[in-house]
Structure 1
């Protein structure tokens, strides 16, 4: 008897699970050195990064529908409009409310954690 040919296993390639385009991250951080370091880390991970130093700049970018931001990464404590204030505006705006937001802080205060 002739041996039957074995069907070839078709493995799943991990590339199928990657997004078709790089994600656009809006980084909001008032500290220059932190902003540069986090931007570099994100770009090294193939994210497209727009980095700004305050929440008002971030808000202008978010409401401009041409930007198509996929994720906001924002410092909690900033002068002027805080990260929490920005989060509140995002959550109440029809075109932005489904944009994921990650809050970050160098402060270890439990009060800040609970506000987020």
Structure 2
């Protein structure tokens, strides 16, 4: 069973995604609602994939991304960035920081599942 860590400060969104992904796939979903907690969980659990929101209070998603990619234990975990902002600047920054894909919220379940499947199949 593949593990997916969702790091997003919007709890309702996290549980919505968790419920939908578990209903259509055999994933174990772990949730962190703060960037620092997401880093800790990623280091401990070593998920197969991380869904990471860009805009969060405290440590933002791009800073979390830099910390994860700069750490030996987490640098190879694929990351899909999530954001509600459709700005090219954020997209370029995220891709330049080694994220594996980028999704603008709200996202349809089949699109999310497709992107997750694509990233996981590339990294295996």
Measured against the shorter chain, the TM-score band is 0.7 to 0.9
Cα separation, 2, equivalents of 1:52 and 1:42: 16
More displaced stretch, 88-97 vs 104-113: 104-113
Larger radius of gyration: 1
In proportion to residue count, which structure has more strand? Answer: 2
After superposing on structure 2, the runs of 4+ consecutive aligned residues of structure 1 that deviate more than 3 Å are none
Q: Paired residue for 1:78? A: 56
Q: Which structure's residues are more often helix, by fraction?
A: 2
Show CA shifts across 1:18-75 (max 9, x none). Answer: xxxx1100001111221111111221222100011111111111222xx231111111
Q: TM-score, normalised by structure 1?
A: 0.75
Return 5+ residue gaps in structure 2 as ranges.
95-124
Q: CA RMSD in A?
A: 1.1
Unaligned 5+ segments in structure 1 are: 1-21
Q: Cα deviations across residues 62-111 of structure 1 (Å, max 9, x unaligned)? A: 222xx231111111111111111111011110111111011011111222
Q: What TM-score comes out, normalization by structure 2 length?
A: 0.70
Do structure 1's residue 58 and structure 2's residue 38 form an aligned pair? yes
